[in-house]
Structure 1
């Protein structure tokens, strides 16, 4: 099925779904296996995962609609595929990856840099890359030269029109407030599926009063601008508009819109709840997205955009929708500035908040800001909460998690005995929608505590987190 056909199937309503399913039958194309019989293969080299995948197809005699994605290590064969297969509409090109690389790095981040996609007879590639001899990214006549970056570093483009941080900071107030999408250089930057030229259309649909239209637009934005945790270079340009859309009470899925803005301003740690990652907004290391664009620039630009609009976000801490309050916390915690103003607002709201999940989010947002910006007294504040028997369980547990991320002290028996009776099924359910916990796993409180207290390896767990 072509990608256009797949999009038609995905967007089909009840009346047309059956007909499209008959006219456009779908196939499940498997190109990787990340877990088998309860065993995670995330760090197993791709060559071994491919062998496992091929054996699955052989052992189970799988046929259509189950399809094994073709693969080759022969350059001549790859060139032939690139020449002939891309004649089919919707087939963009080939995916190249290092056979010796695992899906995740040692700290649980997705390994993206070895993956490159190209397309035949064109100067543009998936992810917005342009290949004239495979070396440059382009948009609107501007060229991001990867060979030059290898020699001189990303600093070569700092402050230019290809630096998304400069573009976002230079966005005029009336452009943001009046949704003047035509004034924004969307095509200069990209997302997982190519140029960002289609983003304004998605943002317009996101403002629709029709729930299905708005929901589909949000799903498409999620899958493109922040694709599987990879923040595309166009993502920061969406943040000012996402915040304004979320601030309108009649908007559908306002919490989801805020969540997308927050995702554009964060590194993903893929379920890793270690003390040095659980409340870390972004790594300091240089990183690039799948197109080769410096992803740390994109995250920094998104964080700066959130800081510029703190005035829009703070009133949402008092919104009538608890989910909006929760994701406002998650978004505010990524801010690159206005730290004291945000911290004061979070602590003030905590004194009157009644919903357990929102209270936990207020505590974790305060702790994350304190950790990210070295705010004096944050660790002592968190400790005062988890040691206070008059505080509710959600505040005490979230404060304990925050405190563990703020200090280098070992886990004490006092902390263990304090938390043990608080970690109930009721509390786990109440905190299931807390974004930090949800990033670890669904129903992730037990997994979070287990990794935090016992320094359990990513993806593993013991039967007793208190052992």
Structure 2
């Protein structure tokens, strides 16, 4: 992807490392939050990609080319989403955040052949350092409020591998998703189960809790697919993790206590509830996990992006969450990056 030290933003990153005040760069040419906010609807839907200064950010040209490939279908979608996902996985997500406003029109175009790929990729930069995280304290956690002071983002998230403030990237991506909530909400009713799941995953990062929380509950009332119901509960929990709402905490608790609910739903609700409370896990919850958290169910729930992100060392996400949340004192298994491929 080239040498990131040749990107213009490196001068800012170097200045920050030398003690410069982050706030002095807020709103400037290297503030991805300001640039994303300035991308008008007619720009993102018209796809004049060169109107955006991709080159201001590490690997920006790679991100631009990935968006172009998704839009035109010039190369396999997996390659393009792999580039964007790779930037986030490598903790260099500023340019991926800049791509979010352009991914949304692709994702919401019911006739576009790569809509599912775009939707699956667009919320990755809106979450920081979440891969392999499965503890009560960190799963579903958002640290960044787009309205907060620039230094708060810096302190909460620190810097990306390039030295760029990670909180700015996360805030920019979340703001882009929040601005397009009305466009994304209809995807919760899409005929394709994967689209509904990924729409919930994306909307869970929006900084408008009341609107999306209501949408999740409304869709849950009519949703028949157990995995989508589980996704809606995890999305509601993630939104509530960022914006406390006691009635939702109680509502989610009721879902794991309800024996008429499908196992996927009860497990998702139990995990969501554990992330929303400091209460010790009651004995009844331990029994619920013992009865339902099987290897078979864990593999079925791998279809949920929260569980995919929580997985690690060949351990499925559901089982990793159960272990980390109920038995945090247990040592981590050997971290073998190739285990999942064996």
Aligned to 1:187: 55
Question: Is 1:176 matched up with 2:44?
Answer: yes
Q: Shift of the alpha carbon at 1:425?
A: 4.2
- Count of residue pairs the alignment pairs up: 321
- Please, which runs of 5 or more residues in structure 1 have no aligned partner? 4-91, 93-125, 131-136, 462-467
Q: Tell me the secondary structure at the aligned position of residue 158 of structure 2.
A: coil
Question: Which residue number corresponds to residue 59 of structure 1?
Answer: none
Where does residue 291 of structure 1 map in the other structure?
Answer: 162
Structure 1 distance, partners of 2:17, 2:294, is: 52
CA distance in 1, matches of 2:290, 2:210: 33
Shift of 1:445: 1.5
Give me the whole-angstrom Cα distance separating, in 1, the residues matched to 2:225 and 2:22.
45
Give 1:320 shift: 1.4
Residue 246 of structure 1 is matched in structure 2 by 107
Aligned equivalents of 1:271, 1:161: Cα separation in 2: 33
Q: Could you say if the C-alpha distance between residues 175 and 347 of structure 1 is closer, same or farther in structure 2, counting changes exceeding 3 Å?
A: same
Equivalent pair of 1:356/1:431 in contact (CA under 8 Å):
no
What do residues 301-329 of structure 1 show as CA deviations (whole Å, max 9, x unaligned)?
Answer: 11111101111210111111111111111
Structure 2 vs 1, CA of residues 373 and 245 (structure 1 numbering), >3 Å: closer, same or farther? same
Kindly state the Cα deviation for residue 152 of structure 1 after the two structures are TM-superposed.
3.2
Question: What is the RMSD of the two structures over their aligned residues, measured on CA atoms?
Answer: 2.3
Match in the other structure for 1:270: 131
Residue equivalent to 2:78: 215
The equivalent residue for 1:38 is none
- 1:231, 1:147 → 2: CA distance? 18
1:158 maps to 26
Residue 414 of structure 1: how far off its partner (Å): 1.6
What is the CA-CA distance between 1:458 and the residue it aligns to? 6.6
Max Rg structure: 1
The aligned counterpart of 1:310 is 181
Alpha-carbon deviation of 1:433? 1.1
Q: 1:348: which partner in 2?
A: 218
Q: Tell me how far 1:456 sits from its aligned partner.
A: 4.4
In terms of fraction of residues, the more helix-rich structure is 2
Match of 2:196 in 1: 325
Displacement of 1:161 in angstroms is 1.9
In the other structure, the counterpart of 1:436 is: 306
Post-superposition offset of 1:351:
1.5
CA contact (8 A) 2:289 2:322 kept: no
Q: Following superposition of structure 1 onto structure 2, how do residues 405-444 of structure 1 map, counting pairs within 5 Å?
A: 405-441=275-311, 443-444=316-317
Report the Cα distance in structure 1 between the residues aligned to 2:292 and 2:272, rounded to whole angstroms: 16
> Judging changes above 3 Å, is the alpha-carbon distance between structure 1 residues 207 and 145 closer, same or farther for their aligned structure 2 residues?
closer
SS in 2 for 1:377: helix
Which secondary structure state, in structure 2, belongs to the residue aligned with residue 264 of structure 1? helix
Q: Is the 8 A contact 2:295 2:319 kept in 1?
A: no
The residue that corresponds to 1:199 in the other structure is: 63
State the 1:424 CA deviation: 3.4
C-alpha change, 1:457 and 1:311, in structure 2 (3 Å) is farther
Aligned residue among 402, 409, 414 for 2:272 = 402
Cα distance change, pair 299–457 in 1 and its aligned pair in 2 (3 A): farther
Q: Is the 8 A contact 1:429 1:443 kept in 2?
A: yes
Q: Is the 8 A contact 2:230 2:264 kept in 1?
A: yes
TM-fit CA distance, 1:439: 1.1
Summarize the alignment of residues 444-459 of structure 1 with structure 2, pairs less than 5 Å apart. 444-457=317-330, 459=332
**Are residues 356 and 145 of structure 1, via their aligned partners in 2, closer, same or farther at CA, if it must alter by over 3 Å?**
closer
1:313/1:332 contact within 8 Å kept? yes
Structure 1 residues 268 and 457, CA gap change in structure 2 (3 angstroms): farther
| Counterpart contact for 1:383–1:403, Cα < 8 Å | yes
- Distance of aligned partners of 1:332 and 1:145 in 2 relative to their CA distance in 1, 3 Å threshold: closer
Between 200-209 and 387-396, report the one with greater CA deviation. Answer: 200-209
Structure 2 CA distance for aligned equivalents of residues 167 and 181 of structure 1: 13
Give yes or no for contact 2:100–2:173 (8 Å, CA) kept in 1. yes
Please identify which structure carries the higher strand content: 1
* Length-normalised TM-score, structure 2: 0.86
Which secondary structure does the structure 1 equivalent of 2:94 belong to?
coil
